[in-house]
Copies of this chain bind each other. A is one copy, B any other.
Amino acid sequence: MTDFARTKSMFHLPEGVIYLDGNSLGPLPKAATARVARTVQDEWGEMLITGWNKAGWMALPSSTGDRIARLIGAAPGTVVMGDTLSIKVYQALASALEMNPERRVILSDTGNFPSDLYIADGLVRTLGDGYELRTVAPEEVLEAIDATVAVTLITEVDYRTGRRHDMKAITEKAHAAGAIAVWDLAHSAGAVPVDLAGCDVDFAVGCTYKYLNSGPGGPAFIYVAPKHAETARPALSGWLGHEAPFAFDLDYRPGRGIERMRVGTPPILQLAALDASLDIWDLADMADVRAKSIELTQLFIELVEAACPALALASPRDPAIRGSQVSFRHAQGYAIMQALIARGVIGDFRAPDILRFGFTPLYIGEEEVRGAVAILKEIMDGNLWDRPEYKTRARVT
């Protein structure tokens, strides 16, 4: 049984803050401070270039990838870290399209995170030749999979509503129709149990700065199913994905298995922070995390609906098809969120009208849920959001 009191004690959480935005940027694992400082001073400072060997830098993208693999139902040796999620989406898509050369359609949905759609659109334009990005409503994905679809590109959990796709059903339908299934786990990894191997997923990608708490701009991951790992051609074929990077051959030969999905020099300071965060994840069982996440999200919905009738639930009521976040709609959502943040309850706002709250059992419990709702109720009862400074200030994120 995961000891959530222990995992909570391993995070730095600022005084007076209830942090319900770990689905956007996870908080600082206390050990990351020393881990990053060691990487800077003892490794970069003292070992200099020899850190690539002596400090194990070159192995970090694989060793951290293996630890993430456990959380997403993947075998060791099938996940590697690097770049950003957008880049990994491109890499997976381009590789997948090439495995299905007779077809021209990438199928996605309008609930996908825009960057996935932008990247797919960019790839389609680069390819020309009749390639097409086709988007349908999230509810229509399953029936839209037909014999024209080369690749499905679906984000399992909707970033706005938390609605969760049926990974197994969509992947099965994709395969039955002769398509390759690419899954984006941005709001799944560390949020819900994922079974990539059991669902026979072909490619998966995800980021680590949300539920996996690797810090701002932490690296992304990519998974390639073992059955494709020795044949997939990495469209972004960088030197560290070469079979022998330090032979400096002029011709590209893909590395063994998932290693070929490396591209350039890995970001060691970010990987060090991720490594420290994964020490906490090593203590967690995803089934326990999921059970507590459902408890917290159910409680939050129940309390908010009782206390704040003006807020309309935007997330599925059924926890089976909901990720680890809860969203409510309100025409003044932006101002309400600003008022919450001013009072130490940090969630976020997604245009046009969504208030988004993430529930992350490693460091959030019932006390935080009740505290957040009490403050939300005060704001709604007193119209405390109705102040110019909450309505006009531009926020970047």
Contact = CB atoms under 8 A, between A and B. Distances in A.
A383 B270 CA distance: 42
Contacts of A36: 36-37, 40, 269
A397 B53 contact: yes
Contacts of A216: 43-44, 51-52, 57, 265, 267-269
A246 to B, nearest CB: 7
Nearest to A110: B250
Nearest to A122: B237
Interface string A102-144: 0000000010011101110111011111000001000000000
Interface string A239-277: 111100011111110000000000111111111010000
A84 B264 contact: yes
Interface string A186-210: 0000000000000000000001010
A264 B87 contact: yes
Interface residues of A, number: 95
A28 interface: yes
Contact of A83 (B84, B248, B268, B396): B84
**Copies per assembly:** 2
Contacts of A85: 264-265
A98 B127 CA distance: 11
Nearest to A216: B268
A316 interface: no
Interface stretch (A176-184, A305-313, A343-351): A343-351
6 contacts: A37-B37, A122-B233, A126-B127, A220-B264, A269-B269, A269-B273
